[in-house]
Chains A and B, each alone.
Chain A
Amino acid sequence: MKTRQHITRRSFLKTTTGVVAGVTGFPYVIASSALGKSGSVAPSNRIVMGAIGVGPQGRGVMRQFLHERDAQVVAVCDVKRPAREEAQKQVNNYYGKKVCAGYNDFLELLARDDIDAVSIASQDHWHVLHAVEAARAGKDMYVEKPLGVSVEQEQVLRRTINEYGRVFQFGTQQRSSRNFRFACELVLNGRIGRLHTIKVGVPGGRYSQSYPPMPVPDWIDYERWLGPAPWAAYTENRVINQYWWHTSDYTLGFISGWGVHHVDIGQWGNGSELSGPVEVEGTAVFPRDGLCDCAVNWDVNLKYDNGVTMNFTDNTKNKQGALFEGSEGWVFVNRGRIDAHPKSLLAEQIGPNEINLPVSNHHQRNLLDCIKTRSKTVCPIEVAVRSNAICHLSDIAIRLGRRLRWNPEKEEFIGDVEANRMLKRAMRSPWRL
C-alpha cells in the first residue's frame, strides 16, 4: 500500500517568491483568552481602537471589533455628521455608556496616545492617506478594501507600514473563510493537477446621469470629503447612493471594489501572492456620459510567467467567484459555496506534509491576535499591494486598450510610458502622502 500521491506544486513555489504566509508555521491563532484571563480582559490588555470612515461598511467592520472582548472602540471619525453620530450611538449603546468621541479631522483621532489601532473604511481615495498617517502615529490597522487609487500610493503605504513595524490587515475577509482557504490549498497541493486558468467574476459597474451642481449642505465637510481628489462641483449623488463607488476620482470602480476580493483568492491559489502577472490585456465598456465613469463590464486576461492565465471579468461573463482550472480537475469557490471536479476533492484532507495555509476564521480577530504576537496577518500589506495591483493593471490596460507588459519585480510596465504615468496620481493641495 502506498501513500496517496499528488502532483505537488511545491517545486514551483520554491522557485518563485511564492506563498510566504503559506510556509509560515503558526497557523493557529492565540486565543484572546490565552493572553488574559478567559472571559474578561483586563483594561490594560485591551486593544484600544478608533474607526475612521464610519458609513454603513465602516460601522459593519467596527461592529465586529466591538464584539471582541479584548478590543475597545473609543473614537470614530467621519466627515459626514450623520454617519459619525450614528457610529457614536452604536458604540455608546453597545457599551451602555457614553465613551465614544467623534471627530471630523482624522489627525485629531490619530493624535490620541491611548489609541492602539484603527479601523479604516473611508472612501477609496482616502484609504492610503489615512493609513499612512496612522502608521506614522504608531497605530496598527485594519484597512477596508480596495487599497488605494494608484499603485504608487500603495507602495508608499507598504514602505511606511514596514518602516514603523505596524501590523496591518487588509479587508479581504474571504481569507478568513474555510472554503476559500481550502480551495486554495487544493490548488496549491496539486489536487487539480497542473493549474492553467483562473476565472474570476465579480459584480460590474453602473451607469448614472449627469447631475446639476447644488449648494453644499451643512451635514458634510465637502472640502475634506474631496480631500486629495480634484475639485468637483457638489451634487448630492456625488457623495451618497454609492455613486462614488463608481466615479474614477474616488475609486477604480468595482474592478477593484469587488474585484480585489476574488482576484486576491486567485493570487492565493496561484501561489503568486507576493508577485504578479507579466502581461495584461482586455476590453471593457465605460459609461460615455454621466457621473460614473468606471468600467461597467470588463474582460481582462492576465498572464503569469508560470503559464497560468487569470481571466478577470464582471459577472456577466465569469461566474461570481474564483474558478481554478487544472489539468485534472477544477475547484470553484465563492461566498455561497465551494464546488470541485471530481467532487471527491471536497472531502480530501490536506496532510501535515503539504502546503497548509494560515488558518484564520475571523478577519478582525486575526488582526487583534497578530497585534498581540506582532505577527503578519492573514492578509498583510505585501499581499494587499499585490492583489490590488492586479485591479490597477486591469484598469490601466482597458483604459489604454492595448496589451501591456508588467515587471512584477520592479512593479512597473515595460516599454509603455503612458501606462507608467497612470501608476500615480497627483493630490490636491495640501494633501500628500
Chain B
Amino acid sequence: MSQRAKVTSVVLLLVVWCLSVLTSTSRAAISAEELRKIEDAAPSKSTAAPKAPRKLLVFNRCEGFKHSSIPYGAKAIEIMGRKTGAYEAVISDDMSVFKPENLKQFDAICLNNTTRLKFDGPALRQSLMNFVKSGKGIVGIHAATDNFYEWPEAAEMMGGLFDGHPWRSNGTWAVQIDDPQHPLTAAFKGEGFKINEEIYRIKAPYSRDKLRVLVSLDMTDKTNLGVKDLKLTDKDIPISWLRSYGKGRIFYCSFGHNHHIFWNPAILQHYLDGIQFAIGDLKADATPSIEKALGAVASYKYGQSRRPLTEIVEFIGTLHKSPQKVKEFEERLVKLLRSDTTPDGKQFICRQLSLIGTEYSVPTLEAMLTEKATSQIEPSDMARYALERIPSPAVDMALRNALGQTGGKAKVGIINSLGQRRDTKSVKVLRKLIYDRDKDVAGAAVAALGKIAGPKATKALDKARNKTTGNLRLAVLDAYLQCADELRSQGNNSAALAIYNQMYKRGEAEVIRIAALRGILIASEDKAGDIIIDVLKGTDQAMQSVAIGLLKEISAAKIIEAVTEEMANLSVSGQVQVLSALADSKDAAALPAVIRATKAENGAIRTAAFRVLGTLGGPANVELLAGVAASKDDMSKTAAESLDRLSAEGVDAAMLKYARKADAKVRVVLIRSLATRQYVNAVPTLLESAEDQDSSIRKESLKALGALAYENALPAMVNLLLKAQTSTEQSAAEKAVLATCKRAKDGDRRTQILLDALPGASVGARASLLRLLGQFGGQKPLEVLRAAVKDDNEDIQYAAIRTLANDWPGTEPAAMLIELAQSSPKETHRVLALRGYIRMIGLVKEISADEKLKMYKAAMSAASRPDEKKLILADIPSVKTVETLNLVEPYLLDEAVKNEAKVAYMALALALKEKHPKQADAAIARIEQISKTKSAVVRAGRETVISPTEGIITPPLKIIYGEDGTAYMVVPTKGASLKQGQKGGRAVFSFSTAKKGTLALEFHINCPSNEDDSWYIKLDENRYINWNDTVTKGWQWRKFPEEYSVAKGTHILVIDQREDGAMMGKIKLTLK
C-alpha cells in the first residue's frame, strides 16, 4: 500500500468508528448544560508539553455491563485533548482497531469503561501486547479492570481485576492520597476528599508490589467500613495506580461510574496527567509502592512518618494465603537487614521477621547477635525479638553459637531467649554459666535452667543449691521449684516430692518453704491430709496458712475430721482460716466442728463459724440459727444472714414447720427469712399468722405477704386490711396489699376486689382502700374518689385529694384539682391540690403551648407559697413562647424565688434565641440588669475569662472558694454519674461576641480521678457534648474539644452535672 492509500484507509476507518460512536452518544444524550460543565472543568493546559503530536485511541466497547457514563468519559477525554493540545482523541468500539496496522498510529489506548472485551485469537492479543511492550501506553477508566478474566497476561498488565463494589454509586466515600508527592496526584494537592461514586474492590493480580498506588479508599473512615458487603479482607481498596509494563506504561483509575466524575476538575486533571504519562510525555516514577516503602524503611528514623512502615505491615497481611510470596518477601527483608539500613529501620524489619521469619532469616539474625551497636538499639535485642518467635531448631543453634562470642547484656539476652525457647541442648553450657563471674549472666543461666527443666537442668540446679549464696541462691531455688513442678506435671510425683522436701527444710527462706509445702501437699495426694495435720500440730503460722489454704482442694472426710480436731489448738487467725477453708470445701462432715466453733469465746471465730454454717448447714441447723438470730447475742445479725443463705434441700420446709411452734421472737425471724428467701409456698401459712394474737408476728407476716403473695391471695389480704386493729397495722396491711396489687396481672379484678371492700369499711380502712384505688386509675375508682373528696369525713377527704394529687396516673382530675387549689377552705387541701395540678400539667399530652401556658398561669395565680412557685418555675421552660418569658418576668424580682426564675428565664431565652433573637437578647439584658452584672463581651483575638460566680448556679452544684479565694463549682462527691437530661446541678452563663467567628473554650478544672472528670456542656442550640476523661493533676487548663462558629451577639453556655466531684473554675473564651 502506498503511503497515500494507507492514510486514506485510516481516514475511512475513522469515519466508520466515529459514526458508531455518534450513534451511541446520541442515545445517551449529554445535555448542553452537562457539556458546558465538562468543557469548563477540563484543564486548559497540560502539565507536560507534548513532545510530538499525539494520538489517543478511546475505546468504548462493552461485552458485559454497559455504563451510561461512557459517552461522558469519551467526551471529557476528547475535550481535554482538544483544549490542551496534549493529544488528539480518536473514538472507536470496533475490535479491528487492535490490528497491528491500525494500532500503530496511536501513542496510547484509553479503555473507557470497556467490559468483558473479547480478544479472540492470538493475533489481536499479540498486537495489543506488542503495542504496550514496545513502549506505548494504556489508560483505564473505571470498568477497564472488568475485562481480562480469561487472559491473565492482560489482567496482569492492567494491574488488577474487578471484584464487586460494596461502595455503591449512591454513597459518598472518603478517599485518601497514598502518594501525595507523586506528580500524578498533583491534582489533589495532597489532600484526601469525599466523593459520591461507585468504588471497586480489586482482586489479584493486583499487588502493591507491582503497582504504584496513588489513590485509595480511606479504610479508617467509619462510613467506608460501614458498608453491608464488607469482607474481613477489605483492607486495601486501590482507586488509581500506574505501572510500567515492558517498555510501556499503564495508568488506571476507578473513578468514572457517576456522570459528574467527568466534570470534576481535580479528577479530570488526574486523568489528563495519567494520559500524558501513558503517552510518554509526563515523566512519573512507577516504582511499585512496596519497593518505595522498603526504600523508606532503609532510611527510617524514629520521629519520621510511620506510613511506609504501615504500608509494609498491611502488605504482609495480604500475603498470608501464599506461603511462597511470604517467603519471597522475607528474603527481601533479610536483604535489607544486611544492607546499611538504619538501626531504627532494622528494628522494624526484625518485628516483621518475628511474624514471618523462617530458617532463611536465621543466619542474618545470628550475625546480629554478636554485632556491635552503632546506636542505642542493641542489634542482639533486635535479632532476638525475631528469633524468639521463629519456630526452628536453627534458632536454638544460632543462639547457642552466639553464647560463647558475647558478654554482658547481649549474653544475658541470649541466655534469656534460650530459656524462653526451653532449649534442652543449651543445658550443657548454661550449667557452667551458673558460676560465671558476671552475676547477671549467672542469674540468667539459672532462670533459663528453671524454664528448661528436665533431668539435666534439675541436676545442675540441685548441685548449685550448695554452691551459691544470697540472691543467686534464691534464684536457683526458684528455678529448682520449677523443675519440680515440671516433674509433677509429667506425673512423676515421687521425684517432685523429693525436691519439694529438700526445699521445705527448716532454715530455707519462708517464701521457698511455702512454695515447697504447697508442692508437697499437691504431690502427696492421699497423704496430704496427714501432712496437713502435722503442720497444724506445729507452731509455724505461715506454714499453717498454706496447709489450710489447700484444705478446700483436699476434702476427704478423714482430713476434715482430723483438721477440726486440731482446730482448737490454732491461733485465732488460724482458726478463722480453717473455717473459711471448710466453707470452701463444701464438706458437711465439718459441721459438728463448725457448730462447736459457734460456741467459741473469741468473736472472730464465732463470726466465721456462723457464716460457715450458712454455707454448710441444712434443715437441722435452722433452729440454732433462728434462735441466735432472734436473741440479743452479738452474732444475731450474722446468724440471720446465714439463715437467709442456707441452701440445702428441705430448708424452707423446715423453717415453715418450725415457724408454727417456735416462740414469738423466733417466729418473727423465720417469717422475715422466708420472705427474703422468696419461699412462695409460705403464703397460706402467712395468711394465718397475719391474724396471730402476737402483734409482732402479725406485722412481720403482713410484710412477708407483701413480698411473696400473688393476686389470688388479694381478697384475703384486703380482708386483713379491714380487720386491722391499729393504725400501724393498717398501714402495714395497706403496704402489703399495694405490693401484691402491683404484681396483679388482671387489673379489673384487682379494682373490683378493692371496690367490693369499701362498703362497711371503717374510716381508716376506707382511706387505705381509696389510696390503693388511686394508684391504678380507671373510671369507677375516679368516680369513687371524686365523691370521696366531698365526703363528710375529713380523713376521707384528705385521703382522696392526696391520692388524686400524688398518685393518679392520668390527668382526668386536673380541673377538679385547680378548683380545689383556688377555693378549698383548707390550706393543706389547697397545697396538695395545687401540687397535683402542677404534676398533671407535665403529664398532659397533645396540648397547644397556649393551653399549657394557661394552665401554668392558673397554677401560678393559685400559688401562695414559694415552694409551689419554684415547682412551676422549674417546669415552665417546657413552654417555649415569648409569652412564657412575660409570665416569668415579674418573679425575677421575687426575693423568695428569684434564682429559680432566673434559671427559667435563661433557659427560655436560650430556647427562643433562634426564632425570637430580639426577645431572647432582651431577656438576657434584663437578667444582667437585675443581677447588676454585665455579661462578658468576647472580642476577636483576645481571651475573655469568666468566673463561676458570674453564672446562675442551681443545686446540687455549688460555688466553693478555694484557699486562694478563687471560686470554683462542684457537686460534692457521692460517686454518682448522671445520664444526660437527668435532673442535676446546672450552671448557665451568658456572654456576647463582638463579631462572628470561631469560638474556642478552655476550662480551668481539677479532676482528681476518672470517676470525677466529666460534664455535659452545650453552647446555644448545639448538641450537648459529654466532656469526659479529663483527669488532671490539680488545677489545669484544658481545651474543650469542640470549637463553634458563632454569630455576633449573645450566647448561652450551659454546663450540666455529670460526674460529681469534678471541679470547674474559670472559663476562657477565645474568638478567632
Which residue numbers of A lie inside 8 Å of B, CB to CB? 1-4, 23-28, 30, 34-35, 56-57, 60, 86, 136-138, 159, 162-165, 203, 210-213, 230-233, 235, 281-283, 285-290, 293, 296-297, 316, 335-337, 349, 351-353, 356, 372-375, 399-403, 417-418, 421-422, 424-432
**Contact among A30, A163, A288, A427 with B306 in the assembled complex (CB-CB below 8 Å):** A288
**Contact among B303, B317, B389 with A421 in the assembled complex (CB-CB below 8 Å):** B389
Interface residues of B in 1006-1037 (CB under 8 A from A): 1008-1010, 1029, 1031, 1033
A-B pairs, top 5 by smallest CB distance, nearest first, are A429-B413, A25-B615, A138-B511, A233-B302, A426-B388
In the complex, A417→B323 CA distance in Å?
A: 12
In the complex, A3→B680 CA distance in Å?
A: 5
Residues of B within 8 A of A285 (CB): 219-220, 222, 225
A-B contact pairs, 28 of them (CB 8 A): A1-B681, A1-B684, A3-B681, A28-B614, A30-B580, A30-B608, A86-B1033, A136-B474, A163-B481, A164-B511, A165-B515, A210-B304, A231-B376, A285-B220, A288-B307, A336-B977, A353-B647, A356-B645, A372-B573, A372-B577, A373-B576, A373-B580, A374-B548, A402-B232, A421-B391, A428-B413, A429-B410, A430-B416
In the complex, A204→B19 CA distance in Å?
A: 59
Residues of B within 8 A of A213 (CB): 301-303
Residue B233 at the chain A interface, CB threshold 8 Å: yes
Closest B residue, CB atoms, query A421: B389
B232 and A25 form a contact (CB under 8 A): no
Using known A-B contacts A374-B548, A426-B388, determine if residue A418 contacts B381 with beta carbons closer than 8 Å.
Answer: no
Residues of A within 8 A of B614 (CB): 28
**Contact among B235, B351, B515, B676 with A349 in the assembled complex (CB-CB below 8 Å):** B676
Query: 6 more A-B contacts (CB under 8 A) besides A233-B301, A285-B222?
Result: A30-B607, A164-B514, A337-B979, A402-B320, A426-B354, A432-B419
Residue B440 at the chain A interface, CB threshold 8 Å: yes
Closest B residue, CB atoms, query A159: B485
Residues of A within 8 A of B530 (CB): none
Residues of B within 8 A of A282 (CB): 232
**Contact among B416, B679, B680 with A432 in the assembled complex (CB-CB below 8 Å):** B416
Residues of B within 8 A of A230 (CB): 347, 351, 377, 381-382, 385
Residues of A within 8 A of B680 (CB): 1-4
**Contact among B389, B420, B576 with A30 in the assembled complex (CB-CB below 8 Å):** B576
In the complex, A424→B1031 CA distance in Å?
A: 33
B391 and A400 form a contact (CB under 8 A): no
A401 and B586 form a contact (CB under 8 A): no
- Interface residue total, chain B, C-beta cutoff 8 A: 106
B644 and A35 form a contact (CB under 8 A): no
B678 and A401 form a contact (CB under 8 A): no
Residue B378 at the chain A interface, CB threshold 8 Å: yes
A233 vs chain B, min Cβ distance (A): 4
A28 and B355 form a contact (CB under 8 A): no
B51 vs chain A, min Cβ distance (A): 38
Closest A residue, CB atoms, query B1058: A336
B370 vs chain A, min Cβ distance (A): 14
Residue B666 at the chain A interface, CB threshold 8 Å: no
Closest A residue, CB atoms, query B380: A429
Residues of B within 8 A of A138 (CB): 510-511, 514
Using known A-B contacts A165-B515, A335-B977, A352-B644, determine if residue A26 contacts B615 with beta carbons closer than 8 Å.
Answer: yes
B144 vs chain A, min Cβ distance (A): 28
A392 vs chain B, min Cβ distance (A): 15
**Contact among B320, B380, B388, B608 with A34 in the assembled complex (CB-CB below 8 Å):** B608
A161 vs chain B, min Cβ distance (A): 11
B453 vs chain A, min Cβ distance (A): 12
A189 vs chain B, min Cβ distance (A): 12
A82 vs chain B, min Cβ distance (A): 9
Interface residues of B in 1026-1052 (CB under 8 A from A): 1029, 1031, 1033
B222 and A297 form a contact (CB under 8 A): yes
Residue B631 at the chain A interface, CB threshold 8 Å: no
**Contact among B305, B416, B683 with A429 in the assembled complex (CB-CB below 8 Å):** B416
In the complex, A35→B220 CA distance in Å?
A: 56
A10 vs chain B, min Cβ distance (A): 12
Produce 1/0 per residue, B304-321, CB < 8 A to A.
111100100000010010
In the complex, A298→B172 CA distance in Å?
A: 22
Using known A-B contacts A25-B586, A138-B514, A424-B388, determine if residue A288 contacts B310 with beta carbons closer than 8 Å.
Answer: yes
A289 and B305 form a contact (CB under 8 A): yes
**Contact among B388, B573, B1009 with A56 in the assembled complex (CB-CB below 8 Å):** B1009
A430 and B580 form a contact (CB under 8 A): no
Produce 1/0 per residue, B842-854, CB < 8 A to A.
0000000000000
**Contact among A3, A86, A164, A425 with B679 in the assembled complex (CB-CB below 8 Å):** A3
In the complex, A85→B940 CA distance in Å?
A: 42
A401 and B511 form a contact (CB under 8 A): no
In the complex, A431→B443 CA distance in Å?
A: 11
Interface residues of B in 496-530 (CB under 8 A from A): 510-511, 514-515, 518-519
Using known A-B contacts A429-B416, A430-B444, A432-B444, determine if residue A25 contacts B583 with beta carbons closer than 8 Å.
Answer: yes
Using known A-B contacts A429-B412, A432-B447, determine if residue A288 contacts B220 with beta carbons closer than 8 Å.
Answer: yes
Residues of B within 8 A of A86 (CB): 1033
Residue B156 at the chain A interface, CB threshold 8 Å: no
In the complex, A432→B416 CA distance in Å?
A: 6
In the complex, A23→B586 CA distance in Å?
A: 9
Using known A-B contacts A283-B225, A426-B385, determine if residue A400 contacts B320 with beta carbons closer than 8 Å.
Answer: yes
Using known A-B contacts A1-B680, A401-B232, determine if residue A374 contacts B545 with beta carbons closer than 8 Å.
Answer: yes
A430 and B320 form a contact (CB under 8 A): no
In the complex, A165→B516 CA distance in Å?
A: 10
Closest A residue, CB atoms, query B684: A1
A263 vs chain B, min Cβ distance (A): 18
A429 and B381 form a contact (CB under 8 A): yes
In the complex, A56→B1010 CA distance in Å?
A: 9
Interface residues of B in 319-364 (CB under 8 A from A): 320, 344, 347, 351, 354-356
Interface residues of B in 409-444 (CB under 8 A from A): 409-410, 412-413, 416-417, 419-420, 440, 444
**Contact among B303, B389, B645 with A210 in the assembled complex (CB-CB below 8 Å):** B303
Residues of B within 8 A of A425 (CB): 385
A426 and B384 form a contact (CB under 8 A): yes
Residues of B within 8 A of A432 (CB): 416, 419-420, 444, 447
B310 and A401 form a contact (CB under 8 A): no
In the complex, A288→B312 CA distance in Å?
A: 11
A60 and B1009 form a contact (CB under 8 A): yes
In the complex, A401→B317 CA distance in Å?
A: 8
Residue B603 at the chain A interface, CB threshold 8 Å: yes
Closest B residue, CB atoms, query A164: B515
In the complex, A399→B344 CA distance in Å?
A: 22
In the complex, A86→B302 CA distance in Å?
A: 32
A88 vs chain B, min Cβ distance (A): 15
A351 and B677 form a contact (CB under 8 A): yes
B58 vs chain A, min Cβ distance (A): 36
Residues of B within 8 A of A56 (CB): 1009, 1031, 1033
B355 and A422 form a contact (CB under 8 A): yes
Interface residues of B in 541-564 (CB under 8 A from A): 545-546, 548-549, 552
Interface residues of B in 226-244 (CB under 8 A from A): 230, 232-233, 235
A191 vs chain B, min Cβ distance (A): 12
In the complex, A281→B388 CA distance in Å?
A: 26
Residues of A within 8 A of B552 (CB): 24
Closest A residue, CB atoms, query B447: A432
Produce 1/0 per residue, B478-493, CB < 8 A to A.
1001100100000000
Using known A-B contacts A56-B1031, A429-B410, determine if residue A26 contacts B440 with beta carbons closer than 8 Å.
Answer: no
A24 and B232 form a contact (CB under 8 A): no
Closest B residue, CB atoms, query A57: B1010
Residues of B within 8 A of A28 (CB): 611, 614, 641
Produce 1/0 per residue, B579-608, CB < 8 A to A.
011011010000000000000000110011
B232 and A403 form a contact (CB under 8 A): yes
Closest B residue, CB atoms, query A344: B743
Residues of A within 8 A of B832 (CB): none
Residues of A within 8 A of B608 (CB): 30, 34
